């Protein structure tokens, strides 16, 4: 996660993620699911700016009218958690420029929470390590710890147990974000656990080798059929992307975003143009992104 310190502010760029592989292994006694997932941070960013506030309070604003800026927001929760655990009464002004679509399976809320821990750690000069911030992040959400170990990681448990993975080569994607969002809880409620879960060994090795063709063949998301059953319009997105001939395509997280894995930036441009032309009447965001460095 990239950050810069200026004279009176800290700025953090919070990346989205995609799941190249997501298997659901079991239902846990705490209500969560045991999963194994291979996540990659990509170059679609929210931007957060942090400034000192003389009063001991958190002032949070966002340019997206559909996003709550109250105490339920993960940014506010992250700031309050950090103050509580470090026994500080610092205040901050936090401004979020939102570009990652909401409820899209791209972990927009989780990455903003990680960025808040990162930004306030620098602003308030707390001196916490990445590992300490990741442990705090795990209390806020299952995906939050991942953003302290980009660009790629193998994540287990409920997603909070993170093992960094070295990418053998940069990866290029076309992200398609339909206007409708998906409820993660609803998707998981509709899931039937597999009798024989996939292991993910092959795609993990392909990512380490930088073998885009093999990664494309091994893309897997156990939640995708459930999301398509709940929202049949998503099948059109998958079908259209696959017809454009990428190395592979799949849904990210619990949806609603899909991605096409591309062989190079020129193919990404071709597929993005082809999808926009074919779906020009549809209200969908289309982004060309690459794995973060």
Please identify which residue in the block is written with the tokens 């992200």.
Answer: 175
pLDDT for residue 136 is more than 60: yes
Verify whether residue 30 is a known catalytic residue: no
| Structure confidence at residue 150 as a pLDDT band (50, 70, 90) | confident
The pLDDT value given to residue 283: 62
Asked if 17 is an active-site residue, the reply is yes
Question: In which residue ranges of the chain is CATH 3.30.70.890 found?
Answer: 172-290
- pLDDT, tens digit, 9 for 90 and up, residues 168-219: 999 999 999 998 899 999 999 999 999 999 999 999 999 999 999 999 999 9
* Whether the Cβ atoms of residue 40 and residue 22 lie closer than 8 Å to each other: no
CA distance 24 to 198: 9
* Cα 245 from Cα 267, distance rounded (Å): 9
Instruction: Give the SS3 label for residue 34.
Output: strand
Distance in angstroms (rounded) separating the CA atoms of residues 217 and 211:
10
- Residue 14 confidence (pLDDT) above 70: yes
Superfamily of 172-290 according to CATH? GHMP kinase, C-terminal domain (3.30.70.890)
- Which ranges of the chain would DSSP assign to H, the alpha helix? 74-86, 108-123, 130-140, 184-189, 201-209, 212-218, 224-230, 233-243, 265-278
Q: Given this structure, which CATH class describes domain 2-164?
A: alpha beta
User: Tens digit of pLDDT for each residue in 81-133?
Assistant: 999 999 999 999 999 999 999 999 999 999 999 999 999 999 999 999 999 99
- Percent of residues, the chain, with pLDDT higher than 70: 99
Residue of 46, 98, 112, 143 marked catalytic: 143
Average pLDDT over the chain reads 96
Which tens digit of pLDDT belongs to each residue from 274-283?
999 887 756 6
Rounded CA-CA distance 254/182 in Å is 7
User: Which part of the chain is CATH 3.30.230.10?
Assistant: 2-164
Structure tokens at 232: 């049949």
pLDDT of 278 reads 83
Give me the residue label for tokens 């705090």: 136
């Amino acid at each position: 996660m990239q950050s810069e310190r200026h004279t009176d502010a800290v700025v953090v760029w919070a990346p989205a993620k995609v799941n190249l592989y997501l298997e659901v292994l079991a239902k846990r006694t705490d209500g969560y699911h045991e999963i194994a997932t291979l996540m990659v941070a990509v170059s679609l960013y929210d931007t957060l700016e942090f400034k000192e506030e003389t009063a001991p309070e958190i002032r949070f604003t966002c340019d997206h009218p559909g996003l709550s800026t109250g105490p339920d927001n993960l940014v506010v929760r992250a700031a309050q958690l950090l103050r509580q655990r470090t026994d500080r009464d610092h205040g901050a002004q936090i401004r979020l420029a939102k570009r990652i679509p909401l409820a899209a399976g791209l972990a927009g809320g989780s990455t903003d929470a990680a960025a808040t821990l990162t930004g306030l750690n620098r602003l308030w000069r707390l001196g916490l390590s990445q590992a300490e911030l990741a442990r705090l992040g795990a209390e806020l959400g299952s995906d939050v710890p991942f953003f302290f170990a980009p660009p790629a990681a193998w994540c287990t448990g409920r997603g909070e147990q993170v093992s960094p993975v070295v990418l053998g080569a940069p990866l290029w994607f076309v992200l398609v974000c339909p206007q409708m969002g998906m409820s993660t809880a609803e998707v998981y409620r509709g899931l039937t656990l597999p009798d024989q879960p996939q292991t993910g060994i092959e795609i993990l090795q392909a990512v380490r080798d930088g073998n885009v063709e093999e990664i494309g063949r091994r893309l897997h998301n156990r939640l995708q059929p459930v999301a398509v059953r709940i929202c049949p319009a998503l099948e059109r997105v998958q079908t259209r992307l696959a017809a454009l001939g990428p190395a592979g395509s799949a849904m990210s997280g619990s949806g609603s975003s899909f991605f096409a894995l591309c062989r190079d930036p020129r193919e990404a441009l071709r597929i993005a143009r082809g999808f926009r032309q074919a779906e020009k009447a549809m209200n969908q965001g289309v982004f060309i992104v690459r794995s973060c460095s």
